[in-house]
Each structure stands twice: as structure tokens, then as C-alpha cells.
């Protein structure tokens, strides 16, 4: 199977998106409610519930607190969850070795969620090096540049650790070349034939990620992400190239990020690919809405309008920090 896969004969497993009822609802339902994914930030410890200043309403939580948060979300009918690890400075190093460590609190959360909710939950996990490198870059630096292939090797280790713990989708957010095929091959080799890959295929070097980097303590200590994330000026050709390449390498979901400033790109990509399309309504977009509205009603109307614009542009899946409030306050 793997040899065929490497030869490009078998590189897709369309059944992955159909595997559980909750995966089918997420990928194929027309309703906005079923399309929502709530992001969470996981820290070590117990009883930790730290508000993030730049993102009102969003907290960093230790596994015990987070499991309660997600249980409440599940009751509301939010079945899809995206988990981001947040590490302490002293755990970080130049090769992000902590990110694939067997002791990551994130792994504990995945296991608990899958044992508690089984097929009712869709657990997605972020696969990147930036939260675990001491320099904050998304890859391993060699001769002052991010070394693509060394970084991909590390990404595969991280993805495998999440798959082993039971993640439904590993979400590659790093923008290294060839990582989707490498991760797909690593998953196949290890027998994880039902683990999906959500690829951040079309990810721009955007100024809208600031609050997230604060939340995940992942801002680069020097330079920026322009040598791997896409140039904000680049046209549709490159967006379609990235998306169709990831699709051919075996991505199960194709993501565009950020969302609001790239709706035209979402439309073009949705027309060009045959896998479900996701948008990431990123931290800067969230903070902008939060700071421009003073009451629930006006925020609700704004969020509803934004979500419909995503759907109209062609998004099947919406990753948004507004998911919980949109559902609990009946904004949809």
C-alpha cells in the first residue's frame, strides 16, 4: 500500500471523512452549526484557567479544566474541537523535541476525549513546530534558513504521536513543502489508515495572527514567516497550486487561512478541489469583532453575517473562536 502511495497510485482515502457520524456532519452538512470547530489552548498543570488578554472569552486551560469546557461544548452540540499545545519556555529547544514527547498534556486530552465521547467527537490537533522551538519558527533552522526536509521529519513524529493518542485529524499548519505526503506515508506505515489530515494548504504570512501568537507563546524571536507562509500579494494561481498539491498528496480537508480577507481565494480554491474546504477565522479577525462591538446583539449579527460569507464563498468547515458563543447564544 505504501509503495503504491509513494508512486502516486493510491494517495487518497476518501473514507476517512466518512468514518464516523460526527466526521460526516462536519464535512458534509450544509448547516453552519455542524460546520463549526472550536479552537482550544492546552497548558500543563491542574486547575489552570488563564484568560488571554488579546482574545476576550478565550482561555489557556490545563487538561482537567479543558475537559470540562469541552464536555459543556459537546452538550451545546459543538462536536468538533481543535487543540493547540502551549509550552513553557524551559521546555523549548531548537528542534522542538517537546512537541513529539510522550508526556505532552495534549496527548492526555486527546485520549480522555476519545474515551469519553468516542465517535461523537471530532478531535483535531495542530501539528507545527512553532510552539516548541526556542526561536518560535515553524521549522528547524539550518544556516539561517528553515530546513524544509528536517522540519518535515519532526512534523511526522508529532503527527504520529497525535494519531497514536486517537486524534481524528492531524492539522499541518507549518507550510513546509511535501509534508502532507510525508505525514500520510508515516500514518500508513504505522497503520493509522483512519486518521485524517487537515492541511493548512493556503496559509498567508498574515498580520492577523498576532493574538494567537500571544496565546500560544509562539511569536518568532527574530525575522518573520515569509519564507514559508504565502505572500499576501500572491494571486490565485499559487493558492490553487498549494491546494491541489496537498489534495494530491493526500490531504482530507483543505484549509484557507485567514478567512475574512481571503474570501475570493476561498471561492477559487473551493472550485478547484474536490475535498472539503475549511476556513480559519483567525485570532486577529476574532479580536477585531470583539473590540468593535459593545453588546451581544450587535456582535451576534456581525458573527452571523461573517459565517454566512464563509459559506457563500464555498467553505464546508469554519474554525472560529466565536463557535461557542454563536451556538450558546443562538446567533445562527
Binding residues for ligand PBG (CB under 6 A): 126, 128, 130, 138, 173, 209, 212-213, 225, 282-283
Asked about 4 being catalytic, the answer comes back as no
Dihedral angle sign, alpha carbons of residues 61, 66, 72, 78: positive
State in angstroms the smallest separation of the CB of 101 from ligand PBG: 18
Nearer to ligand PBG by C-beta: 5 or 266? 266
E-only strand ranges, the chain: 36-42, 49-51, 59-61, 80-85, 122-127, 140-142, 145-147, 169-172, 196-203, 253-257, 277-281, 317-320
Nearer to ligand PBG by C-beta: 192 or 209? 209
Nearer to ligand PBG by C-beta: 25 or 126? 126
Asked about 203 being catalytic, the answer comes back as yes
The Cβ of residue 62 has, within 10 Å, a number of other Cβ atoms equal to 19
Set 92, 203, 268, 311: catalytic member: 203
State in angstroms the smallest separation of the CB of 170 from ligand PBG: 13
Nearer to ligand PBG by C-beta: 286 or 331? 286
Nearer to ligand PBG by C-beta: 247 or 287? 287
State in angstroms the smallest separation of the CB of 186 from ligand PBG: 19
Cβ atoms of residues 120 and 150 within 8 Å: no
State in angstroms the smallest separation of the CB of 34 from ligand PBG: 21
Cβ atoms of residues 98 and 87 within 8 Å: yes
State in angstroms the smallest separation of the CB of 45 from ligand PBG: 22
State in angstroms the smallest separation of the CB of 124 from ligand PBG: 11
Set 92, 257, 268, 301: catalytic member: 257
Question: Among 242, 223, 232, 109, which Cα is nearest to 175's?
Answer: 242
Distance CA 141, CA 40 (A): 28
φ and ψ of 199, to 5 deg: -105, 130
Nearer to ligand PBG by C-beta: 259 or 270? 259
Cβ atoms of residues 314 and 320 within 8 Å: no
For every residue of 234-282, DSSP letters joined together read --HHHHHHHHHHHHHHT-SEEEEESSGGGHHHHHHHHHH-SS-EEEEE-
Question: Among 199, 203, 250, which Cα is nearest to 225's?
Answer: 203
Distance CA 127, CA 306 (A): 27
Active site residues: 203, 257
Amino acid at each position: 500500500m505504501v509503495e503504491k502511495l509513494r508512486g502516486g497510485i493510491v494517495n487518497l482515502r476518501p473514507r476517512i471523512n466518512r468514518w464516523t457520524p460526527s466526521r460526516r456532519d462536519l464535512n458534509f452538512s450544509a448547516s453552519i452549526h455542524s460546520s463549526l470547530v472550536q479552537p482550544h489552548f492546552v497548558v500543563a498543570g491542574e486547575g489552570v484557567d488563564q484568560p488571554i488578554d488579546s482574545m476576550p472569552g478565550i482561555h489557556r486551560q490545563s487538561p482537567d479544566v479543558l475537559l470540562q469546557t469541552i464536555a459543556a461544548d459537546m452538550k451545546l452540540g459543538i462536536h468538533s474541537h481543535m487543540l493547540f499545545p502551549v509550552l513553557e519556555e524551559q521546555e523549548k529547544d531548537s528542534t522542538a523535541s517537546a512537541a513529539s514527547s510522550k508526556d505532552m498534556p495534549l496527548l492526555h486530552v486527546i485520549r480522555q476525549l476519545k474515551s469519553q465521547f468516542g465517535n461523537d467527537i471530532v478531535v483535531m490537533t495542530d501539528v507545527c513546530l512553532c510552539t516548541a522551538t526556542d526561536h518560535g519558527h515553524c521549522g528547524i533552522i539550518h544556516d539561517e534558513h528553515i530546513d524544509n526536509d528536517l522540519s518535515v521529519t519532526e512534523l511526522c513524529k508529532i503527527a504520529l504521536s497525535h494519531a497514536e493518542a486517537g486524534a481524528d485529524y492531524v492539522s499541518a499548519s507549518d507550510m513546509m513543502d511535501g509534508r502532507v505526503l510525508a505525514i500520510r506515508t508515516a500514518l500508513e506505515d504505522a497503520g493509522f489508515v483512519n486518521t485524517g489530515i487537515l492541511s493548512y494548504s493556503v496559509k498567508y504570512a498574515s498580520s492577523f495572527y498576532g493574538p494567537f501568537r500571544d496565546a500560544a507563546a509562539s511569536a518568532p524571536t527574530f525575522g518573520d514567516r515569509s519564507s514559508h507562509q504565502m505572500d499576501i500579494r500572491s494571486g490565485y494561481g499559487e493558492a490553487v497550486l498549494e491546494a491541489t498539491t496537498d489534495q494530491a498528496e493526500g490531504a482530507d480537508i483543505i484549509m484557507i487561512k485567514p478567512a475574512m480577507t481571503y474570501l475570493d481565494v476561498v471561492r477559487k480554491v473551493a472550485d478547484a478541489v474536490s475535498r472539503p474546504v475549511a476556513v480559519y477565522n483567525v485570532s486577529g479577525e476574532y479580536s477585531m469583532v470583539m473590540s468593535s462591538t459593545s453588546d451581544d446583539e450587535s456582535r451576534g449579527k456581525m458573527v452571523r453575517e461573517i459565517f454566512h460569507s464563509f459559506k457563500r464563498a464555498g467553505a464546508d468547515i469554519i474554525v472560529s473562536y466565536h463557535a461557542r458563543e454563536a451556538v450558546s447564544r443562538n446567533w445562527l
